[in-house]
Structure 1
């Protein structure tokens, strides 16, 4: 297929429209439940009050801001895909935001800014009669009449188009890690599957062996590791494919597969990491230096040792506990002396190269 044909076909999978509308119209769409804000696509309210204030200041001063993106369903209702922070800030300010989180946040009280220091302490309406802390009618109307560009992904688009759009808008940004983007997609496709992944990532043996720090937990690194484990066992990795693209596709395929046996995979997952924890504890994915396991968590060891063990689980289950622990420890120690592992796991080795070289041999390398 030629490049021109590929472009034509790809464009047919995404049907878009867009136009400018007032902020007041956006507020009314939300109040009439014609604009849905679901936390499925990104975390709600990650902005602090200073950032919210700067955004409101931009609206008041007429400074342009990026468009919002919505997905229009078959009944014409819009689902917000990107722009949640901006829209929710406006709704919090005007007092129209609904839900438990809105009750927790309360009214938005603005801070002073470099250009508008008198914004300090201001809110949409006065806190009490005569308090003088309301924005006032003229500024309220100016905000409501400000224009925002709305880009619309229409219902005729392909099934995964809104997920693709969300990825393109958010991947690589400072606010969301790649796994947080995937989490949002997983919630949208199959919330039960997402909850299952989180459950796996929270299992004591998994947490212990992967040595998850608080920063890793916050960036959902554990959920990504759990996804990697499940994906590598069930979705063949295509050589040269970007690792994050592979994980994105694997997540969509697994979460959409009605025949995927979560119970069997969960049993394998738990037994694998229970065995690793019993044999090696928090040193499971450290490099053996000839005397000790030391250093940081290594993804290459995780991919070979965990996946290889999971595919040889029956053989390890047939052993007694002492023999099994000794065998797993010996296999972990031996990795640093196996040429194919050493050549494809060091610094400077691309993830695509590592996966294409090591995943196919993981089962054989860890076979008892």
Structure 2
């Protein structure tokens, strides 16, 4: 298929519309349940009071507001895809935001800013004695401020809203690739997201992958769990960007009703229990001829975790000591395997690494 035909096909999958609305109209849509915010989104990310104040300040100073993106469902209701922080800040400040469980959220109290120091301690209206409220004219100014609403119509391809969410949120400074995927997982299958998060926190896994605190904050552990399942249930297609592959795998796996997640969870736990017993925090580190050392290597994780998991039933026929010896020996021998040696170096692209190492991993760890 030519590039021109690919572009035409992709455009047909996304049917959109859009128009300007006042924030007051948006508030009313939310209050009438015609604009929905996924409760899990509110648990994942939340602006602090400084960022909320700066956004309210921008509206009062008539600074243009970036658009929000919504998906229109079959009933005509809108589901928020992008703009959570901006929209929830307005809804919370005005006292209409509902929490993840439907509870009333305590309205914000603002800070003073360089341009508007008198915003300090201001609220939408007086709730308690001593409160200082913005006046009616300022409330009307906020309600009348206009925002562009971009609408992904129901005629669009089913996966379009997930694609759009990823495109809008990937590449910025705030969210990592996996943090964006977490949101997409919540949109499709919140239980699958919870499973990924739970498995990323079990001791055997955290000890073997040995990630830094910063990496954990950016959801690196959750991404590694996703890779574990993706390699089995959504085979890698040569040439596809690794992050695009993981994006695609997440959507497809989240929607797959045929996967027995109880069995998959057990296999995951057994795999990392064996790896932790055998190698501990050296499980995915370089063998130097005399000892394991250095930093975590993704090429080792992909090869060893996938290879062990695919042969777990046969490996388990051995005694535990024999299992451990097998894993240690194979982890050492990996460094003299020509396929691994050629495709695991620092200069090897992720696309090449996955296409070469995943096929060899299953055979390499076969007892």
TM-score by length of 2: 0.94
In structure 2, relative to structure 1, the CA distance for the partners of 1:271 and 1:306 (3 Å cut) is: same
Q: Secondary structure at the match of 2:259?
A: coil
Would the alpha carbon gap of residues 104 and 339 (structure 1) be closer, same or farther in structure 2, given more than 3 Å must change?
A: farther
Measured after TM superposition, the shift of residue 40 of structure 1 is: 4.5
Give me the whole-angstrom Cα distance separating, in 2, the residues matched to 1:211 and 1:2: 44
Name the counterpart of 2:246: 247
Deviation sequence 1:136-171 (CA, Å, 0-9, x none): 011111111110000011111111111011011011
Is 1:124 aligned to residue 124 of structure 2? yes
In structure 2, the partner of 1:271 is 270
Give the whole-Å Cα distance in 2 for the aligned partners of 1:173 and 1:34.
29
Which deviations, in whole Å up to 9, do the C-alpha atoms of 1:109-157 show, x marking residues without a partner?
111112111111211113556x572110111111111100000111111
Give structure 1 stretches of 5+ with no counterpart.
none
RMSD: 2.0
| C-alpha displacement of 1:218 | 2.3
Per-residue deviation, residues 7-50 of structure 1 (Å, max 9, x unmatched): 22222211111110101111111111111111445755521111
Partner of 2:350: 351
Q: Which runs of 5+ in 2 are unaligned?
A: none
SS at the partner of 1:303? helix
Q: Following the alignment from structure 2 to structure 1, what is the Cα–Cα distance between the partners of residues 138 and 75?
A: 35
Is the contact between residue 42 and residue 180 of structure 1 (CA under 8 Å) also seen in structure 2? Answer: no
Alignment of 1:56-205 (within 5 A): 56-99=56-99, 106-128=106-128, 131=130, 133-205=132-204
What's the CA shift for 1:105? 6.0
Secondary structure of the corresponding residue to residue 17 of structure 1 = strand
- Contact 1:279 1:328 (8 Å CA) reproduced: yes
Partner of 1:286: 285
Question: How far apart, in 2, do the equivalents of 1:161 and 1:229 lie?
Answer: 25
Task: Report the counterpart of residue 23 of structure 1 in structure 2.
Answer: 23
Using a 3 Å threshold, how does the CA distance of structure 1 residues 186 and 281 change in structure 2: closer, same or farther? same
Structure 1 residue 224 corresponds to structure 2 residue 223: yes
CA contact (8 A) 1:42 1:181 kept: no
CA distance in structure 2 between the partners assigned to 1:229 and 1:44 by the alignment? 23
Deviates more, 1:24-33 or 1:231-240: 231-240
TM-score, normalised via structure 1 length: 0.94
**In 2, distance between residues paired with 1:148 and 1:33?**
19
Task: Deviation per CA, 1:230-285: give whole Å up to 9, x if none.
Answer: 11122221111100111111111112122123233223222211111111112111
Q: 1:69–1:83: 8 Å Cα contact kept in structure 2?
A: yes
CA distance in 2, matches of 1:237, 1:305: 16
Residue aligning to 2:55 = 55
Q: State how far apart, in whole Å, the 1-side matches of 2:212 and 2:325 are.
A: 28
Partner of 2:259: 260
Greater shift, 348-357 or 18-27, is seen at: 348-357
Greater Cα offset, 47-56 or 104-113: 104-113
